[in-house]
Each structure stands twice: as structure tokens, then as C-alpha cells.
Structure 1
Amino acid sequence: MASIDISKVSKVYDGGVRAVKDIDISIADGEFIVLVGPSGCGKSTLLRMVAGLESISEGTVSIGDRVVNRIDPADRDIAMVFQNYALYPHMSVYDNLAYGLKNRKTPKSEIHARVQEAAKMLEIEKYLDRKPRALSGGQRQRVAMGRAIVRKPAVFLFDEPLSNLDAKLRVTMRGEIRKLQRRLGTTAIYVTHDQLEAMTLADRLVVLNGGQIEQIGTPLQVYHRPASTFVAGFIGSPAMNLLNGHAHGSTVSVDGVELSLPGLEGLEGEVTVGIRAEDLMIDAAPGNIMLPLEVDLVEELGASRLVHGLLGGQPLAAVLPIDAEITGRMGLAVDPARLHFFGKDGRRIDRGDASVDMSRAVRSTQPLMPAL
């Protein structure tokens, strides 16, 4: 096991194109880090630089106490699990698991013991004599993980390993990956574009956008305190509602709805108001703000209902109980303490940014309009 330090790392391709820009991440020994972001954000490129499959243009990557920039991938004490499994089709499962150990001249008795141990851990013992073509997608993925496990590396690297599986199997496999990593205690970096997968797996998330870090934090920190409108819109399902507003004094106006929020006196001009769909509710409590919604679509999700509509001229979505009464025009309540604010540059406005204690100020707000 080992810690990983990524310091000022950039990747510059021919023509001066920067795919990854000045990345700084310190990963503790045994930590599970997930790199998440849309296609083209640089997450796989960053992982491949840690693995040694891409050269590092600027900065350093250290695994344990070694700077590994100029060390071959085979000598970095890592094991990588790929999206396409990368199994040898002509070899049995046993031979696929044993192949890397044989190349390292590991004694046969130790190879056999490690393969059997990994096969038992992953419940693939009865498939050891089969070829990969005789396995299902989930079984192949277990073999790919087993090949990494038998190495007993300092670091696991996962490059979107579940993207070829169906939705049900992905849920099962991500749980198994997390339990396995905890049992082994091996440091892991995992790449995915699926924010739900990222939230359920990570000790910490690294949200990437355009080759740069938008935010690093635990899943709950990133969910409850997104650092930017990009993070707010990317993390969470459904995405956070982001409403254009105008701040003046202690009031924020959103399409004619006045949100009186003492404590925001330092804000002036354009702001974005963020509201999680699950923070909207039918029944108002004292101090809640009421928002008028013109409903135009209801999605039945079984355990809940996803209601889409307009607040003024801006789209708004709410997750409501399955028994909620939905009308064409209705009032939705939100606790002002759960509102998020972002400046014109898209960055989060927190307490201190406006020289106020936001958590105290918003809780004192009185309702501005009656339920409709």
C-alpha cells in the first residue's frame, strides 16, 4: 500500500493543447479516490499518467516515497483494471490470473495460492478452467479484478471498469468493488463519468472540468456544498435547479419572486440561486419560502414523483412524495437554509464572501408569500 502525490501535473499535446492543467491531489494510503467528470474532462488522461501509460508534460507523480515520472509502468507497483477487461481470449481464467505473476518469475506454489485466494474472494472458483468467451460480462469483470488482486499492488487503478455492464449488474459490481477495496486496504483511483457511481464508491471525489479540478471533497461535501454551478449541475440526480436572479441589498429576485435573505447585503448584481429538487416540498414550515410552480410534466418514479415546471420563465424540478397532489399551478416550499448562491463567475458564494454568517441569516427569514 502507498500514498500518492500528484503535484502540478499537466498534459500538453502537440500544438500546445492542454488536456490536463496543474492538477494537485494528495491521496492517503488506503484511500479510495474517484475522478469524475464529463467526457473529455481529462480524468482518464490523468489516470494514465499515474499508471505510466501517458508521459507527464509538467509536474510530478509520486507513489509512496518515489517520484515515478520516469519509471516504467511495470515497475510502479500498480495494477490497472480497464473498461474492456483486457483478458487474453486464448487463455483460461486461471492462466489469465496467473500470467502477470509468471512474468515476474513468482514461484509456482505462490502463484497457485494467490490465484485460488483471489478466485475464492471473487467467487469465480468454478470458472478457472473456462476461456473468457464462455463468461458473462460480470464474470469477465471479476476476472479482470482478480488479475489485479493477485499482484498485491500498492495501488489499484480503475478506468471506467463497469461501463460495459447493464444497470443492475453495475449496482452489484460497484458494491463488490468497494467492499473488496476496504477489505484489502489498497489505495485506489477510480475513473467514471457516472456521478451516482462516483458518490457511492468514493472516500473523496475529484470533480474535473476542462482538464482542471472544480472541487475535491467527500461525496456529501460535494453534494451539499458544491463549489461551482458546474459541480452543482453535475453531481446529483436530478441535477440541481439553477435559477438566474438579481441581488440587491438583502433581496434576490428570481423572475418576479422576491427572496428576502438578510445576510446577503454584500451581494449586488447577477447571481445564480441553486435549489436541490429533493429540498422542495408541498407542506411549508415556519420560515420557509414559497415558490409558485406552473407544472407541465410529472414523471412517476415509483417511490416518488419528479415534477417539472416553470418558476416564472425558468425550469424547476421537484422530487415529491408519491401521494403528493399535483395541480397545474401549485406552491412549493423550500427552507432558505438549503438555498445555494453562485456569483456571476459560477463560483459558490459562502458565508464570509458577503461578510455574513449565512447559516444564521437564512434561518431567520420569514415566508414571503402564502401557499397557492
Structure 2
Amino acid sequence: MATIELKDVRKTYGTNIEAIKGVSLDIQDGEMIVLVGPSGCGKSTLLRMVAGLESITGGDVTIAGRRVNNLEPSERDIAMVFQNYALYPHMTVRQNLAYGLKNRNTPKDEIDRRITEAARALEIEQFLERKPRQLSGGQRQRVAMGRAIVRKPAAFLFDEPLSNLDAKLRVQMRVEIRRLQRSLETTSIYVTHDQMEAMTLADRLVVLNAGRIEQVGTPIELYEKPATTFVATFIGSPSMNLIKPTGGPNTNWPSDTATVGIRPEDLVIADTSSAGGFRVKVQVMAVELVGAESYVHGMTEDGGTIVFRVPGRSVIAIGETLELTALPDRFHLFDADGRRLSP
């Protein structure tokens, strides 16, 4: 186990393409950090710089107190799990698990012990003599994780490892990854573009945008107190509604309020007893039934869009006009630069 520190880390391609723009981050021993953001935000580049697969243009990366900027990947005491499994097709599962250990001249009895432990933890004992082509996608991903586990590295680095799996398997595997990481207490950095995956896996989330950190915090901190409109709309599904406060429905908002954010679950259909200083009329455009609840997409009178949540058995017709309200303590206020304001 180890701490990982990034100090003003930068990555520039050519003379002027800056992919990583001064990222600083302290990762604690045994912590699961998830890097999340849209495609092209720099999350995979940052992970590869920690791994040694990308050179560092500026700043420092330290692992367990050791500066690793100029060390080869094999010298950094890390193990990576990729989305494409990277298994040797001509080897059995057992041979795949043993390969890295043999290259490090690990004694045979120690190799056997580690393989047995990892196979038991991942429930792949019955597959040890099979070739990768004889396994399902989920089983191959377990083997890829096992190959990382047997190394007993200082840190695990996960590069979108579940993106090739179907939705059901992704849910199962992210639960498995979180369980294993907690039991092994190994410092981990996990990259994903899937914000649901990020929310369920992370001790802390790091939201990246265009090579910079937008916000760092626990999943609930980022959900309940997004620092910017970018974080507000990226974390949460469906996204937070962003509304321009024209007409002044709440005169207690700070004068520099440029945008009001409201989560879909915080909007309710108004009736004569509804309290609160915010009301908006919407015409229903679509209704998404997702089981126990539905998400209703509507259009406001000024042509904006809004999404709100209702119980799954609610009967709402497309084309219907409804009035929505929300309590003031559920508002998120942002200034003209998209920065959070104190309520």
C-alpha cells in the first residue's frame, strides 16, 4: 500500500496542445479515487502518467514517497487493469496469473499460494486450466483483476475496465471491484466516464474538465454541493436542471445569481397547499418509466427544458401542462462564471 501525490502535473503534446493543466492531488493510503469526466477531459492521460505509460511534461508524481517521473512502469510497483483484459490467449488462466510473478523470479510455492488466494477471492478456481477464449467477458475481467492482485502492488490503476461488459455485468463487477479493494486495502485510481460507476465506487471523486480538476470530494459532497455548473450537470442522472432566474420568483437570492440549479427529485407538482417561492409551468414532452419511478421531460414557457421525477405509477399525459414547485432550501445558486454561491 502507498500514498500517491500529484504536484502541478502537466502534459503538453507538441508545442501548444496542453492535455493536463497543472493537476495537484493527494491520494491517501488504501483510498479508492475515481477520475471521472467526459471524453477528452484528460482522465486516461493522467492515469497513464502515474503508470509511466505517458511522459510527464511538468510537475511531479510520487508513489510511497518516491518520485517516479523518470522510472519505467515496471519500476513503479503498480498494477494496471485495462478494458481489453490484455490476457495471453495461448496461456491458461493459471499461466496468465503466474506470468508476471515468474518474471520477477518469485518462488514457485509463493506463486501457487498467491494464485490460489486470488482465484478464491474472485471465484475463478474452476477456470484455472481454461484458455481465455473459453471464458465469458466477465470471467476474463476477473482474470485480469487476478493478475493485478497476485502482484501485491503498492497501487492498482484501473482504466475503464468495465466498458466492454453489458449493463448487468457492469453492476456485478463494480460491486466486486469495490469489495476486493476494501478487503485488500490497496490504494487505487479508477478511470471512468460513467458517473453512476464513479458514484458507487469512489471514496473520493475527482471531476476533470479540459485537463483541470473541477472538484474533489466524496460522491455525496459533489452531488449535494457541486462547486460549478459543470459538476452539477455531470454528477447525477438525470442531470440537474439549470434555470435562468428571470421574473424573480425568489427575491432572497443573491444579486449576482445567474443560474439556479434544481435536481429532478426536488421538483414536485404544485397544488393549492404547495409552499415555496418557486413555481414554473411546463408542457410535458416525454415520460421515461424506469421502474419504481418515472422521469418527465417538459418545456417551460420560455422554451427551456426541465426534468422532474414522479412515482412510477403516476399517470401523466404527453402534451399536458403542469405547474411545478420546489422548496428554496433545495436550490443551487451559481454566478455568471458558473461558480457556486452561498444560498
Q: Which range, TM-score by smaller chain?
A: over 0.9
**Residue of structure 2 in register with 1:248 after alignment:** none
After TM superposition, the structure 1 = structure 2 runs for residues 315-334 of structure 1, keeping only pairs within 5 Å, are 315-326=305-316, 328-334=320-326
Which secondary structure state, in structure 1, belongs to the residue aligned with residue 268 of structure 2? coil
After TM superposition, the structure 1 = structure 2 runs for residues 110-121 of structure 1, keeping only pairs within 5 Å, are 110-121=110-121
What is the alpha-carbon distance in structure 2 between the residues aligned to residue 244 and residue 138 of structure 1?
45
Work out whether residues 308 and 316 of structure 1, in 8 Å CA contact, stay in contact via their aligned partners in 2. yes
**Residue of structure 1 in register with 2:278 after alignment:** 289
What is the alpha-carbon distance in structure 2 between the residues aligned to residue 136 and residue 110 of structure 1?
28
Work out whether residues 275 and 327 of structure 2, in 8 Å CA contact, stay in contact via their aligned partners in 1. no
Question: Does residue 341 in structure 1 map to residue 333 in structure 2?
Answer: yes
Could you tell me the TM-score, scaled by structure 1's length? Answer: 0.88
Note the alpha carbon deviations across 1:318-349, whole angstroms, 9 max, x for none: 01112334351112221111111111111112
Work out whether residues 292 and 313 of structure 2, in 8 Å CA contact, stay in contact via their aligned partners in 1. no
Could you tell me how far 1:92 is from its partner in structure 2?
A: 0.5
What is the alpha-carbon distance in structure 2 between the residues aligned to residue 154 and residue 203 of structure 1?
18
Could you tell me how far 1:290 is from its partner in structure 2?
A: 2.6
Which of 283, 289, 296 is the equivalent residue of 1:300?
289
Which AA in structure 2 matches 1:160?
E
**Residue of structure 1 in register with 2:193 after alignment:** 193
Could you tell me how far 1:244 is from its partner in structure 2?
A: 2.3
RMSD between aligned alpha carbons?
1.3
Residues matched between the structures, number = 338
Could you tell me how far 1:239 is from its partner in structure 2?
A: 0.8
Work out whether residues 81 and 161 of structure 1, in 8 Å CA contact, stay in contact via their aligned partners in 2. yes
**Residue of structure 2 in register with 1:15 after alignment:** 15
Could you tell me the TM-score, scaled by structure 2's length? Answer: 0.96
Task: Select between 290-299 and 1-10 the one with higher mean Cα deviation.
Answer: 290-299
Residue segments in structure 2 that go unaligned for 5+ positions in a row = none
**Residue of structure 1 in register with 2:65 after alignment:** 65
What is the alpha-carbon distance in structure 1 between the residues aligned to residue 93 and residue 219 of structure 2?
36
Work out whether residues 155 and 187 of structure 1, in 8 Å CA contact, stay in contact via their aligned partners in 2. yes
Question: Does residue 259 in structure 1 map to residue 249 in structure 2?
Answer: yes
Which secondary structure state, in structure 1, belongs to the residue aligned with residue 206 of structure 2? strand
What is the alpha-carbon distance in structure 2 between the residues aligned to residue 239 and residue 260 of structure 1?
22
Note the alpha carbon deviations across 1:234-269, whole angstroms, 9 max, x for none: 111001111123xxxxxxx2xx4x3224252xx24x
Question: Does residue 37 in structure 1 map to residue 52 in structure 2?
Answer: no
What is the alpha-carbon distance in structure 1 between the residues aligned to residue 228 and residue 251 of structure 2?
20
Which AA in structure 2 matches 1:278?
E
Which of 260, 268, 274 is the equivalent residue of 1:273?
260
Question: Does residue 310 in structure 1 map to residue 302 in structure 2?
Answer: no
Could you tell me how far 1:75 is from its partner in structure 2?
A: 1.2
After TM superposition, the structure 1 = structure 2 runs for residues 88-107 of structure 1, keeping only pairs within 5 Å, are 88-107=88-107
Residue segments in structure 1 that go unaligned for 5+ positions in a row = 246-252, 352-357, 359-372
Could you tell me how far 1:213 is from its partner in structure 2?
A: 0.6
After TM superposition, the structure 1 = structure 2 runs for residues 59-208 of structure 1, keeping only pairs within 5 Å, are 59-208=59-208
Which secondary structure state, in structure 2, belongs to the residue aligned with residue 260 of structure 1? coil
Which secondary structure state, in structure 1, belongs to the residue aligned with residue 297 of structure 2? strand
Could you tell me how far 1:70 is from its partner in structure 2?
A: 1.1
Work out whether residues 31 and 188 of structure 1, in 8 Å CA contact, stay in contact via their aligned partners in 2. yes
Which AA in structure 1 matches 2:282?
L
Which AA in structure 1 matches 2:307?
A
Work out whether residues 280 and 320 of structure 1, in 8 Å CA contact, stay in contact via their aligned partners in 2. no
Which AA in structure 2 matches 1:333?
T
Note the alpha carbon deviations across 1:250-301, whole angstroms, 9 max, x for none: xxx2xx4x3224252xx24x71111111111135653353322221211222
Work out whether residues 90 and 131 of structure 1, in 8 Å CA contact, stay in contact via their aligned partners in 2. yes
Work out whether residues 276 and 325 of structure 2, in 8 Å CA contact, stay in contact via their aligned partners in 1. no
Note the alpha carbon deviations across 1:130-160, whole angstroms, 9 max, x for none: 1101100000000000000000011000000
Identity %: 61
Note the alpha carbon deviations across 1:345-366, whole angstroms, 9 max, x for none: 11112x2xxxxxx3xxxxxxxx
Work out whether residues 10 and 59 of structure 2, in 8 Å CA contact, stay in contact via their aligned partners in 1. yes
Which AA in structure 2 matches 1:225?
K
